[in-house]
A and B are shown apart, each in its own frame.
Chain A
Amino acid sequence: MSTSVPVVDRGAKPSGGNPRFFRRLLRRPVAIVCCAYLAVLVGVAIVAPIAMPSVNSQNAGDLFGANQLPSWSHLLGTDTLGRDVLSRLLVGDRVTLVGVVEALVVVLVLAVPLGLAAGYLGGWTDRVVTWLADLTFSLPAVVIIIVVLSVFPTSMLAGMATFGVIAAPGLMRVVRSATLPIREELYIKAAEASGLSRTYILTRHILPRIAGVVIVQASLLAAVALGVQTGLAFLKLLVADPAPSWGGMVADGTSVLLLHPWLIIPPGATIAVTMLALSLLGDAVRDAAVESWSAPVRTKRAAAKAAPASAGTTPPAGALLTVQHLSVSFPGREQDVRVVEDVSFDVAAGEIVGIVGESGCGKSVTAAAIVGLLPGSGRIDGGSIWFGGKDLARASEAELRKVRGRTIAFVSQEPMVSLDPAYRVGFQIEEALRRHRGLSRAAARDRALELLRDMHFVDPGAVARRYPHELSGGMAQRVAIARALAGEPELLIADEPTTALDVTVQAEILELIRELQMTRQMAVLVVTHDWGVVADLCDRVVVMYAGQIVERSDVQSIFDTPLHPYTEGLLASNPHLEPEAATLPMIPGTVPPPGSWPAGCRFSARCRYAVAACAELEVAIEAPYQGHETRCIRYGQLIKA
């Protein structure tokens, strides 16, 4: 069950090595510019030494015209021995690029197969390869390369190949750690279960998946190799005079730095621009590879909030929380996409209300919107959220911070990741207590232990000392609830609090929530997809479908007499109620995703009671009975059946 924010064009997880990837890459102007520049470099590398064959062996030019600044005859000036800087730069391109390529080839040839083998085969292979890599990693690269170069003086192949060998473990580690999760992917297991050979799986399944990672690392590595090559050339260890190289030209310039500072600029600038191009390309490649992921959460709310059309200005009396005509949208490719539309419900003090629906109906987004916790790109674009006399939909971040944790608390689905893994859980509860209650350290510690005892922990002290990864799922969820209660909230929003837990643990948590409701008169808003949880916990129920509320009632009525075909169909297809039957009654079709909601009733395409009128007009919520509302014009049929 996905409770994450729906993104309109949700693509697959990062892929690499297929044609779509290159198309995505080339859509970015940055990538095009960099590729073009590098192509030019390659072209020059091939052509220049052929077009200007004398430059490589030119010991000196016109000595009287040495150290000249740029002029028409020498576009970049002349160096200390009177040679033309521009032609030396162009000819030196080949040497530089060849060095980079040599290093890259060595690294790739070593790292990719070894990394794949270590990651996929595991066991001894993994241990041996990792140990070798650790050893190589700890070698002092500088010493080794310089010594190798003294054995093979001015042999660029030796120098760059040595660098390649020393840099290979880095890439190997990356390949290995990219392979490990892929190995656990279920389609690999399915392929193995189908009897496909290991070579096939490695080359056809795993290699394409890590291609993206390898390409990114390779482009970054190319930049590093360029740095190493130019550095070694600068030390005059790599290229024999008088052949030009960019690093060597910088060295030449440095020797006359104080008198003629211009000379180091052309080669230095060329090196810098090339490195820039390689780094930018690496970034672009990486962005293209993971493009289909949704945007990360921003720390601050979206700055501008458009004033919603139908805004109430006075808070309604009575309920603790009143949500009126709430709408939430997320930015899509071309325009904003509504994910939640016209949602209204309220929660009275001390009451448990459940929002039920399937994935993509917008229930989690609704819950998050109440405390202003939409992922950075989402915004409330309509309606109000009345709580404590204030409209939270219009409140500033500062005002919301006063509410969060203090009067409204939040507990989410995955307890193991909702606590900070770096701190002990007791500390995290104390932190909340000190923030909301202003307690001293000692008082906070005592109160934290009290809270843990309320959560039915037998030894609260021992639990408080643990880190989140040392707790089981049920324990972590209870700790999360304890932290949420630190501020003595009036309303607890629980987003799928038991979905990730075992059945027996789930029962404990449900009982705990009920107990909290009774002892603290705390209202609870539960978001769930499990009708059993609804039956156990809730006083009233709100059913959502495709971003809208389709039914609202007290809990018994919704089970006894559902007044919306979706609710009815959902309840009927629950296998709990049809243990013996051969076929479960089912709802045909699938939910329309946000962005493609039909006009008229959104469920009509799948509804067995639908008539023509259903698809034409938007349906408003009506209340055929006191306390039981439905968004269906055909509810009469359900009562008859």
Chain B
Amino acid sequence: MSTHPLLSVDHLRVEYPVRNRPPFRAVDDVTIAIGPRETVGLVGESGSGKTTIASAVLGFAPAAAGTIAFDGEDITGAARDRRRRLSASLQVVFQDPYSSLNPSRTIGKTLSETLRPHGSPSKSEVAEQVASILERVGLDPGAADRYPNQFSGGQRQRIAIARALIVRPRLVICDEPVSSLDLSVQAQVLNLLRSLQDELGLSYLFISHDLAVVRHISMRVVVLYRGRVMEAGPAAVVYNHPAHPYTRALLQSAPIPNPNLQRARRTSRQRSTPDLPSTVKPESCQFAPRCPWAVDVCREQQPPEELTSEGVFVACHRWREFAALPGGGADWSGPRLRL
């Protein structure tokens, strides 16, 4: 890539103060880069810090260390004015379709208010833009006069997408956008996101705990655990040949919709300790207490991020040994259904 990436997060740390104890690091030393027309997936379980990263990029959570740069410009700790201008290029779609729209305002009002901070177009222009974006996301323009409670979850999520896109941003942060939706609706929304990306040249930071969804939509994937990057690289490689024990555990734990295959791979799943300790000291690898392969150095030293031959960054002391193991990867993609 010749130019700078669209969004560049460097060694970001986000802390929350805790009384009488050292502050809790929700995000620690995370580096992510997203280029134009690219989708980067952030995958992790609860407590992984993935939502906190989104909050930090949007300016809701202060960065204790590290920088965030958008289009080459440092936006860490940006003031209100800068944030307002930034919102023309950086938007967000949230998870909960029931909470992301104000129930006492019409759709049209909600959509048009996103346009407010960026110049005052005339009423008819606003109405036109609202109508066109509604059509683009597959809803009828008459929806502008209705209230959110008259729409289903999937439709509301489309409205949320419309709200993000009405200003024609360049990067959209999608924070679990399909997690509250049914499977059949999920497919509709994912397809919509894809086609909009093609048409409008968008980039996505796609955050989810659902491995299959992230795999489907992302070009590159970042695997987070307890605020740290465990592994990051091209989606296909990470999913087919996970280099980090946590990624492996994650992939092995997610049941695949294929009974024979699922029952066969169950037996090969590595059990990790079920009861977690509540704090792990910052100097150790965060996964060490649960990792079946942890050795002393894992508990004493934070593993450095190293680049494998396949272009994947992995933060594990023993990754080379695992790469050499037979059957190192999880059997990720099962056979396709006959259609």
A and B from one complex: yes
Shortest Cβ distance from residue A46 to the other chain B in the assembled complex, whole angstroms: 34
Given contacts A1-B180, A507-B253, is CB(A568)–CB(B339) below 8 Å? yes
Interface size class of B (residues with CB under 8 A): 35 or more
Q: A183-221 interface mask toward B, CB cutoff 8 Å, 1 = contact, 0 = none?
A: 001110111111111001000110011000000000000
Most buried by B among A457, A508, A577, A582: A577
Nearest-neighbor residue (CB-CB) of A590 within chain B: B152
Q: B169-192 interface mask toward A, CB cutoff 8 Å, 1 = contact, 0 = none?
A: 000000000001011111110110
Set A196, A472, A507: member contacting B116, Cβ < 8 A: A196
Shortest Cβ distance from residue A509 to the other chain B in the assembled complex, whole angstroms: 10
A residues less than 8 Å from B59 (CB atoms)? 193
Given contacts A194-B117, A503-B209, is CB(A531)–CB(B216) below 8 Å? no
Set A209, A573, A583: member contacting B104, Cβ < 8 A: A209
Shortest Cβ distance from residue B337 to the other chain A in the assembled complex, whole angstroms: 6
B residues less than 8 Å from A348 (CB atoms)? none
Shortest Cβ distance from residue B38 to the other chain A in the assembled complex, whole angstroms: 15
Whether B337 and A571, one on each chain, are in contact in the complex, defined by CB atoms closer than 8 angstroms, is: yes
B residues less than 8 Å from A503 (CB atoms)? 45, 209, 211, 250, 253-254
- Please report the C-alpha to C-alpha distance between residue A569 and residue B262 in the assembled complex, in whole angstroms: 21
Q: A288-318 interface mask toward B, CB cutoff 8 Å, 1 = contact, 0 = none?
A: 0000100000000000000000000000000
Nearest-neighbor residue (CB-CB) of B251 within chain A: A503
Given contacts A503-B45, A503-B250, is CB(A190)–CB(B94) below 8 Å? yes
Segment among A8-16, A258-266, A326-334 that sits at the interface with chain B: A8-16
Segment among B69-77, B268-276, B322-330 that sits at the interface with chain A: B268-276
Tell me if A57 counts as interface (CB < 8 A to partner B).
no
Q: B81-118 interface mask toward A, CB cutoff 8 Å, 1 = contact, 0 = none?
A: 00111111011101110111111100000100110111
Whether A535 and B256, one on each chain, are in contact in the complex, defined by CB atoms closer than 8 angstroms, is: yes
A-B contact pairs, 26 of them (CB 8 A): A1-B180, A12-B149, A13-B103, A16-B104, A194-B91, A194-B116, A195-B88, A196-B117, A197-B117, A358-B184, A359-B153, A458-B275, A475-B274, A503-B253, A504-B272, A505-B274, A507-B253, A510-B255, A529-B182, A556-B260, A571-B257, A576-B256, A577-B333, A577-B336, A582-B194, A583-B191
A residues less than 8 Å from B183 (CB atoms)? 358, 529, 531, 570, 573-574
B residues less than 8 Å from A584 (CB atoms)? 187, 190-191, 216
Whether A641 and B338, one on each chain, are in contact in the complex, defined by CB atoms closer than 8 angstroms, is: yes
List 9 extra interface pairs beyond A13-B103, A292-B149, A504-B45, CB under 8 A.
Answer: A185-B102, A194-B114, A457-B275, A458-B273, A503-B45, A532-B262, A536-B255, A575-B186, A590-B185
Whether A587 and B187, one on each chain, are in contact in the complex, defined by CB atoms closer than 8 angstroms, is: yes
Tell me if A441 counts as interface (CB < 8 A to partner B).
no
A residues less than 8 Å from B250 (CB atoms)? 503-504
Residues of chain A whose beta carbon lies under 8 Å from any beta carbon of chain B:
1, 10-13, 15-18, 185-187, 189-197, 200, 204-205, 208-209, 292, 358-359, 456-459, 472-475, 502-508, 510-511, 529-536, 555-556, 559, 568-588, 590-591, 641
- Please report the C-alpha to C-alpha distance between residue A343 and residue B155 in the assembled complex, in whole angstroms: 29
- Please report the C-alpha to C-alpha distance between residue A467 and residue B322 in the assembled complex, in whole angstroms: 40
- Please report the C-alpha to C-alpha distance between residue A584 and residue B195 in the assembled complex, in whole angstroms: 11
Tell me if B266 counts as interface (CB < 8 A to partner A).
yes
- Please report the C-alpha to C-alpha distance between residue A541 and residue B17 in the assembled complex, in whole angstroms: 48
Nearest-neighbor residue (CB-CB) of B46 within chain A: A502
Shortest Cβ distance from residue B289 to the other chain A in the assembled complex, whole angstroms: 12
Whether B339 and A585, one on each chain, are in contact in the complex, defined by CB atoms closer than 8 angstroms, is: yes
B residues less than 8 Å from A1 (CB atoms)? 180, 182
Whether A586 and B184, one on each chain, are in contact in the complex, defined by CB atoms closer than 8 angstroms, is: yes
Set B95, B182, B259: member contacting A358, Cβ < 8 A: B182
- Please report the C-alpha to C-alpha distance between residue A209 and residue B98 in the assembled complex, in whole angstroms: 15
Set B96, B149, B167, B336: member contacting A186, Cβ < 8 A: B96
Q: How many A-B residue pairs have CB under 8 A?
A: 224
Whether A189 and B92, one on each chain, are in contact in the complex, defined by CB atoms closer than 8 angstroms, is: yes
- Please report the C-alpha to C-alpha distance between residue A473 and residue B209 in the assembled complex, in whole angstroms: 15
Whether A185 and B99, one on each chain, are in contact in the complex, defined by CB atoms closer than 8 angstroms, is: yes
- Please report the C-alpha to C-alpha distance between residue A236 and residue B254 in the assembled complex, in whole angstroms: 76
A residues less than 8 Å from B163 (CB atoms)? 190
Shortest Cβ distance from residue A531 to the other chain B in the assembled complex, whole angstroms: 4
Shortest Cβ distance from residue A354 to the other chain B in the assembled complex, whole angstroms: 11
What 9 A-B pairs are tightest by C-beta distance, nearest first?
Answer: A195-B84, A532-B255, A12-B103, A507-B253, A573-B187, A502-B45, A586-B187, A575-B216, A358-B182
Whether B266 and A536, one on each chain, are in contact in the complex, defined by CB atoms closer than 8 angstroms, is: yes
Whether A190 and B92, one on each chain, are in contact in the complex, defined by CB atoms closer than 8 angstroms, is: yes
Nearest-neighbor residue (CB-CB) of B335 within chain A: A577
Nearest-neighbor residue (CB-CB) of A588 within chain B: B188
Whether A194 and B113, one on each chain, are in contact in the complex, defined by CB atoms closer than 8 angstroms, is: yes
Shortest Cβ distance from residue B243 to the other chain A in the assembled complex, whole angstroms: 18
A residues less than 8 Å from B153 (CB atoms)? 359
Whether A531 and B257, one on each chain, are in contact in the complex, defined by CB atoms closer than 8 angstroms, is: yes
Whether A195 and B102, one on each chain, are in contact in the complex, defined by CB atoms closer than 8 angstroms, is: no
Set B94, B257, B274: member contacting A534, Cβ < 8 A: B257
Whether B104 and A18, one on each chain, are in contact in the complex, defined by CB atoms closer than 8 angstroms, is: yes
A residues less than 8 Å from B110 (CB atoms)? 187
A residues less than 8 Å from B249 (CB atoms)? 504
Whether A579 and B333, one on each chain, are in contact in the complex, defined by CB atoms closer than 8 angstroms, is: yes
Given contacts A191-B113, A195-B85, A577-B257, is CB(A208)–CB(B188) below 8 Å? no
Shortest Cβ distance from residue B230 to the other chain A in the assembled complex, whole angstroms: 13
- Please report the C-alpha to C-alpha distance between residue A456 and residue B255 in the assembled complex, in whole angstroms: 20
- Please report the C-alpha to C-alpha distance between residue A358 and residue B154 in the assembled complex, in whole angstroms: 12
Q: B228-244 interface mask toward A, CB cutoff 8 Å, 1 = contact, 0 = none?
A: 00000001100100000
Whether A579 and B332, one on each chain, are in contact in the complex, defined by CB atoms closer than 8 angstroms, is: yes
Set A10, A187, A191, A535: member contacting B257, Cβ < 8 A: A535
Whether B274 and A474, one on each chain, are in contact in the complex, defined by CB atoms closer than 8 angstroms, is: yes
Set A195, A534, A555: member contacting B87, Cβ < 8 A: A195
